[in-house]
Structure 1
Amino acid sequence: MSSSKTYAPIAPHTVAFLGLGVMGYPMAGHLSRAGHRVTVYNRTAAKAQQWVAEHGGASAPTPREAAQGADIVFACVGNDDDLRSVVLGDQGAFAGMKPGAIFMDHTTASAEVARELGAQAEARGLAFIDAPVSGGNLGALNGVLTVMCGGPAAAFAKAQPVAMAFAKAVTLLGEQGAGQLAKMVNQIAIAGLVQGLSEAIAFGQRAGLDMKAVLEVIGKGAAQSWQMDNRGPTMVEDRFDFGFAVDWMRKDLGLCLEEARRNGARLPVTALVDQFYGDVQSMGGGRWDTSSLIRRLK
């Protein structure tokens, strides 16, 4: 990890981290670097052993064993079912957690599963915080993620300073489910923005403009966005072998559309962009960055 992150002084905590994927691996690394005692669990044990070789700490063969004695159990897995599999059951984290311990989940999942697990945690004398993140793999590597949280305020106050090891902002937005709903707002905003940016760049290229120069100019005005600054130049170059994968975005947009059906919100542009991402998947671009929407317009 090449991050130059500086860590606020905080008393060392005993923590666990479940799920060492492209996000979880560096997030757990930041917790270790910040001085916390970290035990990791990963479905593929070799990855957990590799993490321990790199960062110290310990690995455990089950979520339950990883969670034993931890003040806070962090998790970042794939989806609702993956989350339930590491939390519930005889070998799940809840079975190993001590009374008063906190489970902070960084998976992008449904608001429904957050409420479900929140109720189960409360019944066991535990606290559950849904805490999806924004910032992608680079944000995780550099320890500058934005974390959107839902859950009990007292538990959040204890977990927030620890989570700052891998974040630039960790914010409580309401009860369980509020973090996941805020992440959906984030993904809805990004989907429409990336499609607009794709159309703008493709239009400019057809018109024969030097689009790098154009983006530099309009990036100083009202059209400026993170996507324009960070993805505009690579879209002009037709480079998509990095970043947040189309497959993951489709999973997230599926959650948004499902929640909208439940709450009555209208998402016409999001539904359309979700179909466009389906086209990109059909082109073999499931692992391309989300900015690859422009490929459909070529």
Structure 2
Amino acid sequence: MNVAFIGLGVMGYPMAGHLQKAGHQVAVYNRTQSKAEAWVETYGGTLGITPAAAAEGAEIVFCCVGNDNDLREVILGEQGALKGLKAGAILVDHTTASAEVARELYQAAQQQGSHFLDAPVSGGQAGAENGVLTVMVGGDQEVFDRAEPVIRCFARQARLIGAVGAGQLAKMVNQICIAGIVQGLSEGLHFAKTVGLDAEAVVEVISKGAAQSWQMENRSKTMLEDKFDYGFAVDWMRKDLSIALNEARKQGAHLPLTALVDQFYAEVQSLGGGRWDTSSLIKRLDAFKQR
């Protein structure tokens, strides 16, 4: 297919690369043009000077940017992707954003005879680089069926959850669960070190039982080594939790632990850890112990 990819950050850059390597003809746009030029130099494809230019002639336009306002700029702006999107084409948004903006973009696409799927991803930078992301999708079944084989170029799991906005709501569930798990793991490791246990030995044992989690398997070792200079940043997690907490307030859902962990992440930011990996929650416990 002729496809486009808008937003070449730590996720979008490898995701677009998988599309090109799978044989699709990819046009890319990035706000910092030098990054798009580097992508073309690495993978081939073509460079769009604007989102509209990248979207011209594409059957599917993928997008992965920062937040709701970024989305509105690159999709609805004067040079936004909808200006170049042909009738019948599909816009697939992988940004973690609000369900509200997903519904807004769905309506805008419908009005000009094109289609929209909200499709946030989970799996982090490593998942994007290895092509094994999980994709939670909101939209119409027929549109999803057309887009899914292409999404599979960088995903091992892609599922339609419900109507437009459902993908974003499912991503909120994902982030709510991760926040609680990381806090629990941080407290467990902190406790193990404080009482004088060999924390790595403890993890080796309990990771084979009911306490096992992706976070334990992939982050406990680096947490114990005080290494946080990679992975999904605290700043991004706070953005995502803010979206979830705002939606919860609107819907009447009660998320006390999520709200608490969000404040713990604010403390990590105050320690200078805004760009640390989210597993850095353990840092605030160690810092509290030293007071």
TM-score by length of structure 2 reads 0.98
Q: Match of 2:289?
A: none
Structure 2 counterpart of 1:140, which letter? Answer: A
2:190 to 191, 202, 207: 202
1:68-79 aligned at under 5 Å gives the runs: 68-79=56-67
Q: Match of 2:232?
A: 244
Q: Please list the CA deviations of residues 117-164 of structure 1 after superposition, one character each: whole Å capped at 9, or x if unmatched.
A: 101111111110000000000000000000000011111101000010
Question: Residue 146 of structure 1 aligns to a residue in which SS?
Answer: strand
1:156 to 141, 144, 159: 144
Kindly indicate whether residue 265 of structure 2 is the aligned counterpart of residue 277 of structure 1: yes
Q: Please list the CA deviations of residues 253-291 of structure 1 after superposition, one character each: whole Å capped at 9, or x if unmatched.
A: 000000001100000000000000000000000000000
Question: Residue 74 of structure 1 aligns to a residue in which SS?
Answer: strand
Distance in 2, Cα, partners of 1:44 & 1:296: 34
Distance in 1, Cα, partners of 2:224 & 2:65: 33
1:18 to 6, 28, 32: 6
Distance in 2, Cα, partners of 1:91 & 1:237: 46
Kindly indicate whether residue 95 of structure 2 is the aligned counterpart of residue 107 of structure 1: yes
Question: Residue 233 of structure 1 aligns to a residue in which SS?
Answer: helix
Distance in 2, Cα, partners of 1:213 & 1:259: 40
Kindly indicate whether residue 163 of structure 2 is the aligned counterpart of residue 175 of structure 1: yes
Distance in 1, Cα, partners of 2:222 & 2:199: 11
Q: Match of 2:15?
A: 27
Structure 1 counterpart of 2:161, which letter? Answer: L
Q: Match of 1:268?
A: 256
1:14-93 aligned at under 5 Å gives the runs: 14-93=2-81
After TM superposition, the runs of 4+ consecutive aligned structure 1 residues lying more than 4 A away are none
Q: Please list the CA deviations of residues 209-232 of structure 1 after superposition, one character each: whole Å capped at 9, or x if unmatched.
A: 000000000000000000010011
Question: Residue 163 of structure 2 aligns to a residue in which SS?
Answer: coil
Shift of 1:89: 3.0
Q: Match of 1:131?
A: 119
Structure 2 counterpart of 1:194, which letter? Answer: V
Q: Please list the CA deviations of residues 225-258 of structure 1 after superposition, one character each: whole Å capped at 9, or x if unmatched.
A: 0001001111111111111100000000000000
RMSD: 0.6
1:190 to 178, 182, 188: 178
Q: Please list the CA deviations of residues 156-209 of structure 1 after superposition, one character each: whole Å capped at 9, or x if unmatched.
A: 101000010011011100011000000000000000110010000000101100
Give 5+ residue unaligned stretches, structure 1.
Answer: 1-12
Distance in 2, Cα, partners of 1:128 & 1:119: 8
Distance in 2, Cα, partners of 1:241 & 1:249: 15
Q: Match of 2:214?
A: 226
Distance in 2, Cα, partners of 1:169 & 1:234: 27
